[in-house]
A and B are shown apart, each in its own frame.
Chain A
Amino acid sequence: MNMNKLLLLLFTVVNVYPAFCQDAATIMDRVDRNLSSDNRVFESSMVIHGKRNDRTVTSKTYAAGYKKSFTEYLTPPREQGTKMLKLDDQLWIYSPSTDRTIQIAGHMLRQSVMGSDLSYEDMMEDRKLTEVYDANLSGEETIAERKAFVLVLTAKVTDAAYHKRKMWVDAERYVPLQEELYAKSGQLLKRTVLSEVKQISGRWYPTKIVFKDMLKDGEGTEFIITNIKFNQKIPDYIFTKAALKK
């Protein structure tokens, strides 16, 4: 290798690598701006694909930041009236059939939410990605006919649930289109595909998310947001245990 080539390589490493890193941070920041809000109220349908049949569970959720959320299940009749409250790292479920509120903890957190590909502990992830991961832009790809940045997120804290994530972010709208979650060993654990991106209250937001536990058979679980409103006035009592029994 002659000197000119070596200098060119050095120039590339020194200049282009930080540019990529800076881009990744900017992308993450723009993604955060699209997805996060002070609070949001949304109605959703969760389509759970079973071995024999599919089930649809509809719910209404009130969420403030990442730490607080309150969900009331509306249909089917069997789940109607079931409520779920998440405050920081604690989760409670109220079941109208038993009129009891139970805290979901320990091994119960690993159980599936109503038979879906989501576990309760997946719902407990409440930190911004930028707080937990260092992002690197690894390239660009076309996904779902959209140009996307490929970000590789590596945990910068020891208590991150997933050691590595790979995220495909729409290069124009700054919305994630696909995400893969990896174990420390490198095993792919979950894949999330986000689609039907709509402009709502001046931001791009995916209204359909398909969660797939990659270790499990099945078609995954579809999460469809049918109605969402950002920055609403949510009364404080909603985020209390008393609200579960109302």
Chain B
Amino acid sequence: MISLKLAYRNLTGAGLRTWLNVTVLSFAYVVIIFHQGLIDGWHRQGLRDLTEWEVAGGQLWHPSYDRYDPMTFQDAHGVINGRIPGYVKSKLAVPVLVVQGTAYPQGRLQSIILKGIDRSQSLVKLPSSALAGDSGKINAVIGTRMAKSLKAEKGDYILIRWRDKNGAFDAAEIYIAEIFKCDVPSVDIGQIWVPLDKLQEMTGLHNEATMFIVSDQYKASDTDGWKFKEKAYLTKELDELIQAKRGGGMILQGILLIIALLAIFDTQVLSIFRRQREIGTYIAFGMTRYQVVGIFTVEGAAHSIFAAVLGALYGIPLFIYLYYHGITFGLGDMGLTLAETLYPYYSLQLIVITVAVVVIAATIVSFLPARKIAKMKPTDALKGKLQ
């Protein structure tokens, strides 16, 4: 208790020096929590968006289909049979047919992926109801990124070309019935969504699909030869990206923390050098050397407690503001599942771990220079002799 009282009196007595250290360390707190909170917020939003727009409860892939390898698209389709039609009927699965094609917006040539999806589906947020229309027209929905790249607006007609199941070229105009805004680029960039039955008719692939999006209630035990890809597999890319970002961020946070800790270390060295008489007096009054080491260690570590309080004073209002208003980065075209506005998420775990790490690190850097006290001769210390 006496250590804490002394630490408090010494730190407040040191004035500006203490407050400079505390301010720098409080920045470290705020930046670490802000950055980790931002990454956690991105992860949560990304997973939610992926689930709502693309993944749902998982996917069933044709054995030849690999979404990362467009070369597989041509042959990756199979007849919807076995138990699958039952799943489709009971809304547990939504068939999707994937076909490569070419769009010719304003006389330009652009490679596209045509995706056929059931107009009545509600498993993913895609506005597939807009695909319904008169039979003579091919209604299509595209994302905002795709609309930007095609320079297309709602109500425009775009000429597309594709090959049917036998390889024969065919071409027709599609009508842009709706442009949706979504943060999942894999349902937007390069994709044109058309009615499933229309695409089956266009390609001659009647009653065939490339994959199925399935609901959470779907049980993966019976896949009828289709490969079940669970949600964790389909979101793996985002998880890995987040891990990489977290790792990169930790380097920067580490550098900031090291700078703050160096300031504490420096202050400790200077204190021990300038307060030798005080150290000698403590020992002369009957304190053991290690009790004196303890006083100085607690004094150094108390910087981190003060910093936590100061950081909380300006950090908490800032974090609350960002939690509700988010940070807008603009619409990303980098192919990342990244929302236009990110809302940081601060978990209790994040805050506790951050405070613990900073306090422990500050205690260690305070203890290291204080070890010198244990080697001091009390008589020389009382005289203020350099040791």
Q: Which residues of A contact B277 (CB under 8 A)?
A: none
The answer to whether A110 has its CB under 8 Å from any CB of chain B is yes
Q: Which residues of B contact A181 (CB under 8 A)?
A: 169
Q: Which residues of A contact B111 (CB under 8 A)?
A: 107, 110-111
The answer to whether B161 has its CB under 8 Å from any CB of chain A is yes
Interface string of A86-119 (1 = CB under 8 A from B): 0000000000000000000111101110000000
Contact across chains for B71 and A184 when beta carbons are under 8 A apart: no
Contact across chains for A187 and B109 when beta carbons are under 8 A apart: no
User: Which residues 70-128 of B sit at the A interface, judged by CB distance below 8 A?
Assistant: 70-74, 100, 102, 104, 106-109, 111
The answer to whether B172 has its CB under 8 Å from any CB of chain A is yes
The answer to whether A76 has its CB under 8 Å from any CB of chain B is no
| Interface segment out of the listed A36-44, A56-64, A134-142, A153-161 | A153-161
Given A106-B70, A107-B100, A183-B161, is A161 in contact with B109 using a C-beta cutoff of 8 Å?
Answer: no
A66: shortest Cβ distance to chain B, in Å?
16
The answer to whether B320 has its CB under 8 Å from any CB of chain A is no
| Interface segment out of the listed A170-178, A195-203, A209-217 | A209-217
Task: Report the separation of the CA atoms of residues A174 and B109 in the bound assembly, to the nearest whole angstrom.
Answer: 34
Contact across chains for A215 and B109 when beta carbons are under 8 A apart: yes
A155: shortest Cβ distance to chain B, in Å?
7
Contact across chains for A217 and B107 when beta carbons are under 8 A apart: yes
The answer to whether B166 has its CB under 8 Å from any CB of chain A is yes
The answer to whether B250 has its CB under 8 Å from any CB of chain A is no
Given A105-B71, A106-B74, is A187 in contact with B102 using a C-beta cutoff of 8 Å?
Answer: no
- Contact-residue size bin, chain B (C-beta under 8 Å from the other chain): 20 to 34
Contact across chains for B161 and A106 when beta carbons are under 8 A apart: no
The answer to whether A70 has its CB under 8 Å from any CB of chain B is no
Task: Report the separation of the CA atoms of residues A184 and B172 in the bound assembly, to the nearest whole angstrom.
Answer: 10
Chain A: how many interface residues by the 8 Å CB criterion? 25
Task: Report the separation of the CA atoms of residues A213 and B110 in the bound assembly, to the nearest whole angstrom.
Answer: 13
The answer to whether A83 has its CB under 8 Å from any CB of chain B is no
Task: Report the separation of the CA atoms of residues A160 and B169 in the bound assembly, to the nearest whole angstrom.
Answer: 8
Contact across chains for B104 and A215 when beta carbons are under 8 A apart: yes
Contact across chains for A160 and B172 when beta carbons are under 8 A apart: no
Contact across chains for A189 and B171 when beta carbons are under 8 A apart: yes
The answer to whether B168 has its CB under 8 Å from any CB of chain A is yes
User: Which residues 167-184 of B sit at the A interface, judged by CB distance below 8 A?
Assistant: 167-172
Task: Report the separation of the CA atoms of residues A187 and B71 in the bound assembly, to the nearest whole angstrom.
Answer: 26
Contact across chains for A107 and B71 when beta carbons are under 8 A apart: yes
User: Which of B100, B102, B106, B109 has the largest count of A CB atoms less than 10 A from its CB?
Assistant: B109
User: Which residues 228-277 of B sit at the A interface, judged by CB distance below 8 A?
Assistant: none
Nearest-CB residue, chain B, relative to A105: B71
The answer to whether A4 has its CB under 8 Å from any CB of chain B is no
Q: Which residues of B contact A111 (CB under 8 A)?
A: 111
User: Which residues 41-78 of B sit at the A interface, judged by CB distance below 8 A?
Assistant: 70-74
Contact across chains for B168 and A184 when beta carbons are under 8 A apart: yes
Q: Which residues of B contact A216 (CB under 8 A)?
A: 104, 107-109
Task: Report the separation of the CA atoms of residues A185 and B111 in the bound assembly, to the nearest whole angstrom.
Answer: 20
B105: shortest Cβ distance to chain A, in Å?
10
The answer to whether A65 has its CB under 8 Å from any CB of chain B is no
The answer to whether A162 has its CB under 8 Å from any CB of chain B is yes
The answer to whether B153 has its CB under 8 Å from any CB of chain A is no
Contact across chains for B171 and A160 when beta carbons are under 8 A apart: no
Given A106-B73, A183-B161, A217-B108, is A162 in contact with B169 using a C-beta cutoff of 8 Å?
Answer: yes
Interface of A is mostly: loop
Contact across chains for B169 and A110 when beta carbons are under 8 A apart: no
Nearest-CB residue, chain B, relative to A181: B169
Contact across chains for A162 and B71 when beta carbons are under 8 A apart: no
Contact across chains for A107 and B172 when beta carbons are under 8 A apart: no
The answer to whether A18 has its CB under 8 Å from any CB of chain B is no
B318: shortest Cβ distance to chain A, in Å?
47
User: Which of B100, B102, B171 has the largest count of A CB atoms less than 10 A from its CB?
Assistant: B171
Nearest-CB residue, chain B, relative to A215: B104
Contact across chains for B73 and A187 when beta carbons are under 8 A apart: no
Contact across chains for B100 and A110 when beta carbons are under 8 A apart: yes
The answer to whether B197 has its CB under 8 Å from any CB of chain A is no
B112: shortest Cβ distance to chain A, in Å?
10
Task: Report the separation of the CA atoms of residues A217 and B102 in the bound assembly, to the nearest whole angstrom.
Answer: 14
Q: Which residues of B contact A163 (CB under 8 A)?
A: 168-170
Contact across chains for B109 and A106 when beta carbons are under 8 A apart: no
Task: Report the separation of the CA atoms of residues A91 and B346 in the bound assembly, to the nearest whole angstrom.
Answer: 54
The answer to whether B159 has its CB under 8 Å from any CB of chain A is yes
The answer to whether A218 has its CB under 8 Å from any CB of chain B is yes
Task: Report the separation of the CA atoms of residues A162 and B167 in the bound assembly, to the nearest whole angstrom.
Answer: 9
Contact across chains for B172 and A187 when beta carbons are under 8 A apart: yes
User: Which of A106, A111, A181 has the largest count of B CB atoms less than 10 A from its CB?
Assistant: A106
Contact across chains for B100 and A161 when beta carbons are under 8 A apart: no
Task: Report the separation of the CA atoms of residues A175 and B47 in the bound assembly, to the nearest whole angstrom.
Answer: 62
Q: Which residues of B contact A162 (CB under 8 A)?
A: 168-169
Contact across chains for A159 and B108 when beta carbons are under 8 A apart: no
Contact across chains for B171 and A106 when beta carbons are under 8 A apart: no
User: Which residues 111-164 of B sit at the A interface, judged by CB distance below 8 A?
Assistant: 111, 159, 161, 163-164
Contact across chains for B168 and A185 when beta carbons are under 8 A apart: no
Q: Which of A215, A217, A218 contacts B171 (CB under 8 A)?
A: A215
Nearest-CB residue, chain A, relative to B165: A158
Contact across chains for B159 and A217 when beta carbons are under 8 A apart: no
CB within 8 Å of B: which residues of A?
Answer: 105-108, 110-112, 155, 158-163, 181, 183-185, 187, 189, 213, 215-218
CB within 8 Å of A: which residues of B?
Answer: 70-74, 100, 102, 104, 106-109, 111, 159, 161, 163-164, 166-172
A-B contact pairs, 13 of them (CB 8 A): A107-B73, A158-B166, A159-B166, A159-B168, A163-B169, A163-B170, A184-B168, A184-B170, A185-B170, A215-B109, A216-B107, A216-B109, A217-B106
Task: Give 9 new A-B contacts, CB below 8 A, not counting A111-B111, A161-B169, A162-B168.
Answer: A106-B71, A106-B72, A107-B71, A107-B100, A161-B163, A184-B164, A185-B171, A215-B104, A215-B171
